[in-house]
Structure 1
Amino acid sequence: MNQDPPLYSDMYFPNFYDIFRLNKITEIIRFGHLPGEAAKMDLTYADTKFEVIIDKDKPEIGNVGSVPGLPSLIYLPPQEFLSINEGFIAAYKNREMPYDKTYYDLALALNGLPLRNDKLAGIWEPLELLKKIITGGNTESKEVLTQKDGRFHFHLPEGDLDVSLVAEGYRKIATLYYLLRNGSLTKESILFWDEPEANLNPGLIVDMVKVLRMLASAGMQIFVATHDYLFSHELSLSAEYPSGNTADIRFFALHKQDRTAGVSVEYGQILPEIRHNPILEEFAAHYDRESEFFYKSGESL
């Protein structure tokens, strides 16, 4: 017997409270709104258009059609998660914890065992590159990361290491590797990654941009939030000079005129098309300060 597809409200509004740790739904309405005003979102997904209205404490959904099944969604936070994964699922279910539901979802995704190699079609190349990054170029090891009862262990050319003894940047990279390796992330998935550059050696940032480009070219949809000059400009170079890169890249910048104003969005196919770019603005200001110090020091000689 066929069941009707779930409505958008049934799938997502209960999660708003767990993801944003809300006491009431109106807490996600921006500051400065007038009494009686409602937050409204117009959305389109898979040829289905609907609006979301958040008014007082009750979310009301209008013009909603049936939403087809969504692909797997995974959110990766700025800080690494591997070292706190052990026991997290049970603790989240039974204890008060200062973590939102995205961490619980990530723990569930990491809980799966690795897939057979023949089940990794389409993502084998980025997996091999991730393995090279983790091992420093050595790919002879069959598995660079394993887990037992939720605790992870690295298997490196130098020897085996507990997750707590590995640098945080490599733990972040290994998280992506394991999610691909166990099938929680596939080429049909949607990945949200907040500040992938955090705690990464600059030399690793360029490699990670290559990995994300490869995954996007394979079909994965990826949303990245970054404040890093090198990371954002490496992506922009990929868009400006594709040279075989088939990933469709877009850049978005969020800014506010003042602290109570709504958020404005700019977008472009390359970074130079973004007018409000605080990353570039601050680097330009830094260069100006450096030049000023240089010329002042020359005058004093």
Structure 2
Amino acid sequence: MQNTDMIKKVKINNLGIIDNFSFDGFQNVNLIIGENGTGKSFLLKALYTAMKTVEDHKRGEDVRTTADILSDRLRWCFQTDKLGDIVKKGSETPFLFEMYWNDDKFSYGFTKDATIKVPNVINEIEPLKSNSIFIPAKEVLSLFGIILKSREIDKVFGFDDTYYDLVKALRIPPQRGKNYSVFAQSRASLKDIIDGKVEYDENSNKWYYKKGNQKFSIGATSEGVKKIAILDRLLANGYLTKSSVIFIDELESALHPTAISEFLDIIDTIAFEMGIQIFIASHSYFVIKKLYLNALKRKSSIPCISMSKENGIQYYDLLDGMPDNSIINESVRLYEEEINEVLG
């Protein structure tokens, strides 16, 4: 199922360390690669704050303007008291953001002097019923209560809104009865990967890992199991829908290469059979290689945005081959070094 509701085009100027970014070929699965400090997380968070702003607008009893919602989102997602601090250092031109959801435009911008309010926002997107989500590199299950307290009680910076939104989504109990068959199949596969399941005890407000008749504290559970359990819960409780967008930062974090491969197969199914759009940021050769193979298998484009300190931003399609990036180059170098050592 090719998604018809998705982020189609994005243009960004002067965000963090990103000078200029412009791409109009996003698909169901999109990969952002690069070494640390090249702006991958900044890019993901900029897209996420835009999507959540559009989804929050006119939802329920929320009467805030789009500008008010966006201002709060940017402040808490980027953890800054002054919005102008996310503008590229030394730039004399404003930060500009432009996104097209299908053919509808969402855009805004401000200078380094901006304080707590975005001055100008254009939102041509009709209110959405979808729920997008950001899965950060660090797991949240063992920090569940701490994240809620820091945001809802203390109201201090520490865990940005990607963590807070995820915790709120995970609090929703699993649905009973009918769910999307693709989700049910994916959940079964996820359970096989972690060889058990992770459950939330509402009485104790704690998460546990269950394997057979044994029950373990979530703190004693591997990071990889907890990350996979997060996706399982979101598939089970109805938070995700066909128009959701999933952002995953450093998907490979704490996952064994085999688990990475299996996890990405599930992502592939959710994206192409359910129609959910997914953005993955990574600096793992295994992630790039697996998505390249998935593109060949499905004969479907997977855009790859390569961010490099040396070469800037370059754009590839994994359907056409592996991208030119320092991650790939280092993997090839190590292979050649091994061959030279073995063969003398």
Q: TM-score range by the shorter chain?
A: 0.7 to 0.9
In the alignment, is the contact (CA less than 8 A) between 1:135 and 1:144 conserved in 2? no
Select the structure of larger CA radius of gyration. 1
1:215 to 270, 275, 298: 270
In the alignment, is the contact (CA less than 8 A) between 2:198 and 2:226 conserved in 1? no
1:49 — aligned with what? Answer: 105
Question: Structure 1: which 5+ residue stretches go unaligned?
Answer: 137-142
| CA shift in 2, pair 1:47/1:11, >3 Å | farther
In the alignment, is the contact (CA less than 8 A) between 1:83 and 1:164 conserved in 2? yes
| CA shift in 2, pair 1:210/1:4, >3 Å | closer
1:129 aligns with 2:185: no
How far is 1:254 from its partner? 1.8
In the alignment, is the contact (CA less than 8 A) between 2:135 and 2:249 conserved in 1? yes
Which deviations, in whole Å up to 9, do the C-alpha atoms of 1:67-100 show, x marking residues without a partner?
4326211111111111111353234212235211
1:167 to 208, 218, 222: 222
Which deviations, in whole Å up to 9, do the C-alpha atoms of 1:269-295 show, x marking residues without a partner?
4373633x1211111222233344446
Q: Following the alignment from structure 1 to structure 2, what is the Cα–Cα distance between the partners of residues 147 and 118?
A: 23
2:210 to 155, 170, 178: 155
1:280 aligns with 2:341: no
SS at match of 1:41: strand
How far is 1:64 from its partner? 4.3
In the alignment, is the contact (CA less than 8 A) between 1:83 and 1:152 conserved in 2? yes
How far is 1:124 from its partner? 1.0
2:305 — aligned with what? Answer: 252
1:146 to 200, 206, 213: 200
In the alignment, is the contact (CA less than 8 A) between 2:194 and 2:225 conserved in 1? yes
Question: Structure 2: which 5+ residue stretches go unaligned?
Answer: 1-56
1:24 to 82, 87, 90: 82
Q: Following the alignment from structure 2 to structure 1, what is the Cα–Cα distance between the partners of residues 260 and 182?
A: 23
Q: Following the alignment from structure 2 to structure 1, what is the Cα–Cα distance between the partners of residues 304 and 320?
A: 6
Q: Following the alignment from structure 2 to structure 1, what is the Cα–Cα distance between the partners of residues 79 and 198?
A: 35
Q: Following the alignment from structure 2 to structure 1, what is the Cα–Cα distance between the partners of residues 338 and 152?
A: 52
2:165 — aligned with what? Answer: 105
How far is 1:144 from its partner? 4.9
In the alignment, is the contact (CA less than 8 A) between 1:7 and 1:65 conserved in 2? no
Which deviations, in whole Å up to 9, do the C-alpha atoms of 1:192-240 show, x marking residues without a partner?
1111111111221111011101110211111111111112111110101
1:89 — aligned with what? Answer: 148
In the alignment, is the contact (CA less than 8 A) between 2:234 and 2:240 conserved in 1? yes
| CA shift in 2, pair 1:42/1:189, >3 Å | closer
1:176 aligns with 2:231: yes
| CA shift in 2, pair 1:67/1:26, >3 Å | farther
Paired residues in the alignment total 278
Q: Following the alignment from structure 1 to structure 2, what is the Cα–Cα distance between the partners of residues 64 and 146?
A: 38
The answer to which of 55-64 and 75-84 deviates more is 55-64
Q: Following the alignment from structure 1 to structure 2, what is the Cα–Cα distance between the partners of residues 62 and 106?
A: 26
Which amino acid letter does the alignment assign opposite residue 168 of structure 2?
L
SS at match of 2:119: strand
Root-mean-square deviation (CA, aligned residues, Å) is: 2.7
Identical counterparts, % of pairs: 26
Q: TM-score normalized by structure 1?
A: 0.82
SS at match of 1:216: helix
| CA shift in 2, pair 1:191/1:50, >3 Å | closer
